[in-house]
Each structure stands twice: as C-alpha cells, then as structure tokens.
C-alpha cells in the first residue's frame, strides 16, 4: 500500500512538473528570429494619378501575352506590343533606367545608384499570363482580355498574376522618377517572359547579372500575399515567402510482353504499374514541423493565444496532436512535407490490347529539408523488387534555400508591408508553387516572395481561374508598397 502511495505521489509530481513547464513555455513563447521591421523608417510614396494607373492596368490586361504549353503556340508579337506600350506609357521610368531586351523577350531594367559600394536590389514581376480554359469564357463576368473597369476593380486574365505587380512597379518607378528621386543603391527590374511555362527567361536574366558581377542585397517577386481570413487566426496576415519547394516528376514504367486481352497473364503491365504507383503513394513523406512552416505557425499561434499557443509552444507534449490537426487540411499540410501526386497514366492505345509498356507520372513538390535524391530513394524503397523502371522526366529542380527573417532586406519588406496593412500579423511562409525568383539565388543575398494584395481564401481561387480581377483599392496599396520599398531600401 505504501509503495502504491509513493507511485501515486510520484505521478502527481510528474504531472505538476509537466504543467509548470507548459505554463512557463507558453507564457514566454514568441516567434523565433522574425524581425518586424519596426526599426525601419519608411519613406513616403510620391504622388501619382490613380485613375491613370487603373487605366494602364486595364490596357496591359488587353495585351494577351499568353504562355501556352507549347511555346510554338505563343503570339510573340504580343510581347513586342507590351514592350512598346511600357516605353510609351512610362517615359520617366524609361528615362531613368536602361532597358535590355533579351532574345527570349525577357526584360532587364537598371536604375544606377549613386553609391557603387552599396549592393543593389532586384524587383521582379513576369509578363506572361496563363491561358483561359477553353469553354469557360462564358463563365467570366467580363471578357477575360477586355480589361474591363467595373465594380471598383479591373477585370481580366493577368490583372493579379502578374501584371498587377508589373504595372504597380512601373507606376511606382515612374512616380519616383518624376518626383526627382535619386537612388543611392542600384535598382534592377527583371520581368521574365515565360514564368508560367518554366521560367527560362529568368534563368537567362540571372546569367546576365551573374556575368556582370551583380550581388543584390535582396530580391522580391510574387508569392505570398495578405490573406484576409488566415487559418488559425481567422484574420489578416502578411505572408512573405522565404523559400519555395522543389519540383520533380517521376516516370514509373512497367514493361511487359503485351498481347491480346482475351488471354491475359496472371499479371499485366498495367497491374504491375498500378501496384507500384500505389506503393509509392502509400509511403508519403512524414509531416515535419520545421523550416518556414514552423515559423508560420509560431507567428499565427502567438497571435491566436489560448490552447493553440500552448500546443505550438510545447510541441514536446502536443506535437502529435498538432500534426494531426495540420494533416486534416491538405493546403496547410503541403507546407510541412514533400508531397506526392500521381497525375498521369498511359497504357494501351486500344481496349483489347495488352500494352508492352505502361507508365505513370508522379509529381513531387519537395520540401526544403529534402532533395530529389531523397525522393528517388523513397520511391525505390516503396516499389521494392517490382518490375518497374524509375526515371526523372527531366532534371529535378531542388528546393530553394531559406532566406533570413532578420536581415535588412526582410526588415525593409516587412516594414513596407506593415505600412499598407497595419492590422495584419507578419509571418514567413513556404511557397508551395514555383516563381521566377528562384533563379536569382546566385545573384542575391536573400530572395523573398510577396505581393501586397489582400484577398480571402475564396477570392484567391481567381488566380489562374475564372473572373480574375484586381480591386482598385488593392492596386493603390500595391503601388504605394513598391514606391515606399524602393524609396526606403534604395534611397
């Protein structure tokens, strides 16, 4: 009886210690190494004509620089038309900057700084847009390439992705040039021609800058945004991408004798392939609360407080519960592991013929702590001795490096964003898609991905979707953001 009492007392003591540890860690919890930019003195945005800027975005949306799956289908003359339009619409910007048009239609502008010892900045926004899905034109409230100004917005393909940023940048640079602004550090404006189809333009631009010995203090491109109804806090958050996932597509091939479907063997090429694909999909990469995803939930949990803050602050105790909650939402879970998505299957060209070769494509988005070598090793382990071949469709793109959340570049961007959204929580994030900015890693100390566009989760579906539009109020904030950022970091 005495021994039992001692055990009970020991258990109570352990619970008390655990409870005290949880309380202390929760009380002292704060996001790790994320500067808020409060020590930055933000420059004012110069005056500009907002009505004219809105018309300019409308005009740009009417130039269909559509990147098709097959580049041979692209109407290259539209890129030439856009270049001529930019030059005639923004004379002050073109007077201040030199322009290089690469052979593939990518643009590289440079505004020299007065102090050559200062590292320059690189600002990016791509020229091309995705096609409108055939047959969906009738679903648009206004024609997708009309650039209609209505309902306090500009409507059309590309108004958000990414001509909103492109025109916002030119409006800001033009206004600064007109105001007499003289940068101390150089400013590069890089606009890829094919971000939506691989980003070869950005690769060429980065090669040019590297050859010229450029090493920027930061690069800023599209990626994160201001999410109005952010999960966890159900409120606004400034989400700045500090890394983006890698990209790889694995081809799984099962070879077999083939023959007539009336006399099938015990296992066909298709069944072998199906088993292999299921084996790979059934061995997912584990969720890991680390990297940019961890920094994101730390910032959101600190704002939310209560049991959410307690769980994030005490992952030693609540880690499994936390991962379970993350796993319930695929869009959130994607920031915490390498994803595996079988997307395409190919077998026989005829229903009564056994294929001699059946194959599947599996698309991976690789987390920053994994590599393509990890992906291949895991796929091989999953299929075991199955009679399939595994090969990359093309060389994988490895994950980007993770940029600092305490550097001067981060502080400038954070401060400029907070000036446009003072009510929002500031948080780093992992970009699960791809941007042109990844190509700038060799020529930039840090690379960030953010546009100051405030949208809800539901509204974000318009990007690459139907009824894409830029609210005029959001466009104004975008111009102001870019102007403040340039004047602050390059002034």
Angle ∠(480,486,491) on CA atoms, nearest 5: 125
Q: Which of 382, 440, 449 shows the shortest CA–CA distance to 413?
A: 449
- The whole-angstrom separation of Cα 319 and Cα 202 is 40
Q: How far is CA 298 from CA 125, 225, 243, 314, 455, in A?
A: 30, 18, 17, 11, 22
The Cα 13–Cα 21 span in angstroms is 12
Please give the Cα distance from 172 to 482 (Å, whole number): 6
Q: At what angle do helices 163-179 and 472-490 cross, to 10 degrees?
A: 50
As a whole number of angstroms, the distance between CA 446 and CA 314 comes to 31
Q: Which residues, 6 or more positions from 160, have their beta carbon under 8 angstroms from its beta carbon?
A: 453, 462, 463, 468, 469, 470
Closest by alpha carbon to 309, among 30, 7, 14, 4?
30
128 is catalytic: yes
Contacts of residue 88, defined as CB under 8 A and 6 or more positions apart, other chains included, come to: none
- Phi, psi values for residue 119, rounded to 5°: -65, 140
**Identified catalytic residue from 195, 221, 244, 298:** 195
**Cα-flanking dihedrals φ and ψ of residue 432, to 5°?**
-85, -15
Report the run of H or E that residue 168 belongs to, with start and end: helix 163-179
- Which of 27, 20, 18, 37 has its CA nearest to residue 302? 27
Alpha helices in 258-327 (DSSP H): 269-281, 291-304, 306-313, 315-327
Cβ–Cβ < 8 Å for 265, 342? no
- Collapsing DSSP to helix, strand or coil, 160 comes out as coil
Closest CA relative to residue 348, chosen from 271, 425, 437, 426 = 271
Instruction: Sort strands 218-230 and 121-124 into parallel, antiparallel or unpaired.
Output: parallel
Specify the 3-state DSSP secondary structure of 91.
helix
Structure letter (DSSP) for residue 77: H
Instruction: Tell me the β-bridge partners of 240.
Output: 428
Token pair 């590292």 in the structure block, residue: 119
Active site residue 49: no
Residues catalogued as catalytic = 128, 195
């Amino acid at each position: 009886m005495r021994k039992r009492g001692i055990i009970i007392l020991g258990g109570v003591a352990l619970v008390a210690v655990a409870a005290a540890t949880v309380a202390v860690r929760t009380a002292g919890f704060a996001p790790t190494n994320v500067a808020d930019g409060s020590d930055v003195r933000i420059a004012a945005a110069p005056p500009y004509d907002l009505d004219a800027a809105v018309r300019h975005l409308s005009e740009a949306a009417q130039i269909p620089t559509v990147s098709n799956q097959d580049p041979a289908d692209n109407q290259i003359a539209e890129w030439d038309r856009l270049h001529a339009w930019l030059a005639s619409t923004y004379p002050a910007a073109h007077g201040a900057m030199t322009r290089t048009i690469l052979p593939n239609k990518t643009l590289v502008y440079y505004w020299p700084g007065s102090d050559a010892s200062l590292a320059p900045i690189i600002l990016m926004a791509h020229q091309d847009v995705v096609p409108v899905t055939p047959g969906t034109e009738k679903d648009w409230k206004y024609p997708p390439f009309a650039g209609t100004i209505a309902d306090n917005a500009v409507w059309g393909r590309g108004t958000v992705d990414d001509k909103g940023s492109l025109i916002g940048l030119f409006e800001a640079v033009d206004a600064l040039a007109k105001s007499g602004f003289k940068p101390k550090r150089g400013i590069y404006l890089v606009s890829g021609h094919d971000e939506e189809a691989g980003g070869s333009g950005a690769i060429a631009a980065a090669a040019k800058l590297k050859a010229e010995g450029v090493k920027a203090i930061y690069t800023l491109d599209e990626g994160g945004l201001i999410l109005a109804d952010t999960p966890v806090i159900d409120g606004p958050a400034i989400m700045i991408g500090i890394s983006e996932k890698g990209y790889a597509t694995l081809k799984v091939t099962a070879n077999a004798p083939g023959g007539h479907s009336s006399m099938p063997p015990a296992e066909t090429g298709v069944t072998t392939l199906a088993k292999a694909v299921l084996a790979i999909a059934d061995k997912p990469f584990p969720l890991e609360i680390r990297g940019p995803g961890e920094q994101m939930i730390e910032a959101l949990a600190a704002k939310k407080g209560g049991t959410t803050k307690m769980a994030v602050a005490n992952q030693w105790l609540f880690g499994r519960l936390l991962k379970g909650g993350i796993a319930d939402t695929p869009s959130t879970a994607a920031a915490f592991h390498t994803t595996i998505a079988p997307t395409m299957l190919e077998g026989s060209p005829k229903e009564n013929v056994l294929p001699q070769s059946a194959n599947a494509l599996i698309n991976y988005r690789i987390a920053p702590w994994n590599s393509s070598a990890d992906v291949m090793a895991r796929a091989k382990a999953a299929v075991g001795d199955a009679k399939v071949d595994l090969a990359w469709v093309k060389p994988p793109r490895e994950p980007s490096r993770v940029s600092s959340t305490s550097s001067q570049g981060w502080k400038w961007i954070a401060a400029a964003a907070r000036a446009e959204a003072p009510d929002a929580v500031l948080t780093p994030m992992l970009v699960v898609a791809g941007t042109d900015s990844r190509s700038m890693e060799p020529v930039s100390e840090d690379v960030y991905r953010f546009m100051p566009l405030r949208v809800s989760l539901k509204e974000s579906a318009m990007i690459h979707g139907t009824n894409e539009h830029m609210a005029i109020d959001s466009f104004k904030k975008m111009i102001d953001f870019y102007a403040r950022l340039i004047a602050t970091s390059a002034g």
